[in-house]
Chains A and B, each alone.
Chain A
Amino acid sequence: MKVLLRNPKREIDLSGPRTVDALLGALDLNREAHLVIRNGTLVPGDERLHDDDEVEVRPVISGGATPDGSGAAGPDPARAGLPHDAFAPAPPGGDG
């Protein structure tokens, strides 16, 4: 089966059949951090994938800038003082 991976985007060939969870295991990917899409449709972990399937393994963990833009590494001296800055000791990753 053709398997599309992201970050960086690349494609590999793997043999089937194997389950989605087995695929993630073989790629050493955490199932909580990924979704698997087969031929354009989301599939659960126990679904069997076959040689002729086109599969995308999509990471779901965002580490990029949040829409409200919180800093990555805790308190930010540049925003000292303003109470509303406290809303965002939040992540760099609310949103991809």
Chain B
Amino acid sequence: MAKCRVCRGPAVIDLPRHNAHFCASHLQQLCRRQVEKAIGDHAMLTPEERVLVAVSGGKDSLALWDLLLELGYQAEGLYIGLGIGDYSDDSGRYAQAFAAARGLPLRTIDLRQEHGYDVPTAARATRRVPCSACGLSKRHLFDRAARDGGYAVVATGHNLDDEAAVLLGNTLRWDVEYLARQRPVLPAGDGFPRKVKPLVRLTERETAAWCLVRGIDYQVEECPMAAGNRHLGYKETLNAMEVRSPGTKASFYLGFLDRMAPLLAGHSLAANDALNRCSRCNSPTPGDICAFCRLVETAADHEPVPVDMIARTSGRRR
């Protein structure tokens, strides 16, 4: 039986990038230390600040909420019901169960009930991929909730795999502007809260393992809107490299942050001139009406569209 590198007790996981096995207790220690290091290295949070955690019911956001609480931060959750059929219903239940088991409040916004549309309908109404309307809705609503609720920071569950895959995509396109902006912290400004990604030093396998050893149930199924997209292909490519050469993903992304990102400083397009306030919701916008309010206008008038009509099909799912 494999033994934990730290205590020589029975191991529950092998982490080739660390060339080591860990027991449940020392896996948690490793995860806590990686998150502490990310927060410290990038000055993400202070214990005095109230943090709004973007909770989806998946492994990363629940691990993030759990870890931030473990580390003594004032983390509160917000879940957005996207109306993606059973997937959203189940995801919401996982988020609520996590909060209820710990006596934590979980604020919920339901897109259909509160804004008159859902993601499949928005995708059809705008004739764009579902992730577009989904992303726009969530960014806007988390920003607005943070602003209205007096939160200093919004924390999201982006992990090392997410960031490495985005980096690969940006690099393959040599999208210098996006490369220059791919940082784990986005400072507050122009009416937006600071946004942070405390899990960028943990792989998806590690955040999933955190949930398992902590007894956190989460949404395991894949979003039916996202199957087969390009981003998943980048992750598969990186994981094929990782198995042959453990540590590749961390070296790629963390090396980028250490050595490439500083060279790209200043290559990001200048922020817009002074932003206006949306005439409908008062959010920052370069025009008169923000993109979210325009989306609501388009999607809320559309007849509801069932998930099956929008869900992509893919032969690569496992």
Answer yes or no: do A and B interact.
yes
Contact with A along B219-252 (1 / 0, CB 8 A): 1111101110111100110011011000000000
Are A84 and B139 touching (Cβ within 8 A)?
Answer: yes
Distance in angstroms between the alpha carbons of A64 and B16 in the assembled complex: 26
B24, B126, B158, B284: which contacts A90 (Cβ < 8 A)? B158
Residue of A nearest to B91 (CB): A96
Query: How many A-B Cβ pairs are below 8 Å?
Result: 269
Minimum distance in angstroms from A67 CB to a CB of chain B: 3
Are A73 and B239 touching (Cβ within 8 A)?
Answer: no
Is A13 among interface residues, defined by CB-CB distance under 8 A? no
Find residues 88-129 in chain B having any chain A CB closer than 8 Å to their own CB: 119, 126, 128-129
B82, B154, B186, B235: which contacts A65 (Cβ < 8 A)? B82
Are A65 and B272 touching (Cβ within 8 A)?
Answer: no
Are A67 and B138 touching (Cβ within 8 A)?
Answer: yes
- What are the residues of chain A within 8 A of B268 when measuring CB–CB? 86
Residue of A nearest to B13 (CB): A44
- What are the residues of chain A within 8 A of B271 when measuring CB–CB? 83
Are A68 and B175 touching (Cβ within 8 A)?
Answer: no
Is B60 among interface residues, defined by CB-CB distance under 8 A? yes
- What are the residues of chain B within 8 A of A73 when measuring CB–CB? 129, 131, 229-231
Please count how many residues in chain B sit with their CB below 8 Å of the partner chain's CB atoms. Answer: 96
- What are the residues of chain A within 8 A of B295 when measuring CB–CB? 78
Is B66 among interface residues, defined by CB-CB distance under 8 A? no
Q: How big is the A interface, by class?
A: 35 or more
B154, B203, B232: which contacts A93 (Cβ < 8 A)? B232
- What are the residues of chain A within 8 A of B240 when measuring CB–CB? 30
Minimum distance in angstroms from B314 CB to a CB of chain A: 9
Among the stretches B42-50, B67-75, B204-212, the one at the interface with A is B204-212
Among the stretches B28-36, B51-59, B301-309, the one at the interface with A is B51-59
Are A89 and B138 touching (Cβ within 8 A)?
Answer: no
Q: A66-B158, A83-B189 are in contact. Are A35 and B229 (CB under 8 A)?
A: no
Find residues 260-318 in chain B having any chain A CB closer than 8 Å to their own CB: 268, 271-272, 275, 284-286, 291, 295, 317-318
Are B222 and A35 touching (Cβ within 8 A)?
Answer: no
Are A89 and B137 touching (Cβ within 8 A)?
Answer: no
Q: A61-B232, A91-B231 are in contact. Are A71 and B54 (CB under 8 A)?
A: no
- What are the residues of chain B within 8 A of A16 when measuring CB–CB? none
- What are the residues of chain B within 8 A of A72 when measuring CB–CB? 129, 131-132, 226, 229-231
Is B76 among interface residues, defined by CB-CB distance under 8 A? no
- What are the residues of chain B within 8 A of A68 when measuring CB–CB? 54, 135, 138-139, 142, 154, 156, 158, 195
Are B212 and A37 touching (Cβ within 8 A)?
Answer: yes
Distance in angstroms between the alpha carbons of A65 and B132 in the assembled complex: 10
- What are the residues of chain B within 8 A of A8 when measuring CB–CB? 317
Is A15 among interface residues, defined by CB-CB distance under 8 A? no
Distance in angstroms between the alpha carbons of A64 and B271 in the assembled complex: 29
Which of A33, A35, A60, A64 has the largest number of chain B CB atoms within 10 A? A64
Contact with B along A8-41 (1 / 0, CB 8 A): 1100000000000000000001111111010001
Are A96 and B135 touching (Cβ within 8 A)?
Answer: no
Are B175 and A74 touching (Cβ within 8 A)?
Answer: yes
Distance in angstroms between the alpha carbons of A88 and B240 in the assembled complex: 25
Are A69 and B60 touching (Cβ within 8 A)?
Answer: no
Is B173 among interface residues, defined by CB-CB distance under 8 A? yes
Distance in angstroms between the alpha carbons of A30 and B60 in the assembled complex: 20
- Selected A-B contacts with CB under 8 Å, 8 pairs: A33-B235, A37-B212, A63-B226, A65-B134, A74-B173, A76-B136, A86-B181, A93-B231
